[in-house]
Amino acid sequence: MKPSTKTLSTLGVMAIVAVAVLVAKTQTANLNVPSVVPVQTAAAGAAAPAAATHPKRKLLFFMNPNGIPCQTQWGILNNVADSLLKVADVVYIKTTEPADYPKFETFGIRGLPSLVITDENGRELSRFSPGIQPADAVLAALTK
C-alpha cells in the first residue's frame, strides 16, 4: 500500500519538529545558568566600600533557561555583572526547578523573563513588565 501525500506531509512536519527539538536541546544543554550569582566580599583588612544609600536588594530573575528571551536577558545581566553585584544579589528562579514553582505563584509570575526587585527581607519593591529589559533600566531601578 502506497502512503498518501497527506501522510508523507505529516511525517515530514513531525520529522522537522523532532529535529528542531533535538537541536534546541543540544544548544541549551551546556547553558550554565547559576542559581545564585555569588556576592563578592572584601578581603579581611581591605577597605570597606562606600556605604550604599539603601541595604542590598535582591533582583529576582524568573526564567526558563531553555527560552531564547530568558537567555537574552541573562546575557544582558551577565554583561553588567560587576555593576549589578554592587547593588543587588541576583537570584535565578527557574521553570526547570520544581522547588522554584511556589515562587512563581507567590509573585504572580505569568510571563517570562520577569524581573522583580525586593528588599533584603524579600518584600517586593518594584517589578518590570515581562520581557527583555535593558541593563541601564535594571541598574537605575536598583539604585532608586
Q: Which three cell numbers stand for residue 46?
A: 581591605
Q: Which ranges constitute the DSSP H helices of the chain? A: 5-29, 68-79, 81-87, 101-106, 135-142
What was the pLDDT predicted at 144?
A: 86
pLDDT band (50, 70, 90) for residue 56: confident
CATH topology of domain 57-142: Glutaredoxin (3.40.30)
Assess whether pLDDT exceeds 70 at residue 51.
Answer: no
**DSSP code, position 135:** H
pLDDT band at 33 (very low <50, low <70, confident <90, very high): very low
Neighbouring C-alpha atoms within 13 Å toward the C-beta of 107: 27
Domain ranges, ordered by start, for the chain: 1-30, 57-142
What is the C-alpha separation between 144 and 39, in angstroms, rounded? 20
Mean pLDDT of 93-117: 97
Q: How many whole angstroms separate alpha carbon 44 and alpha carbon 63?
A: 35
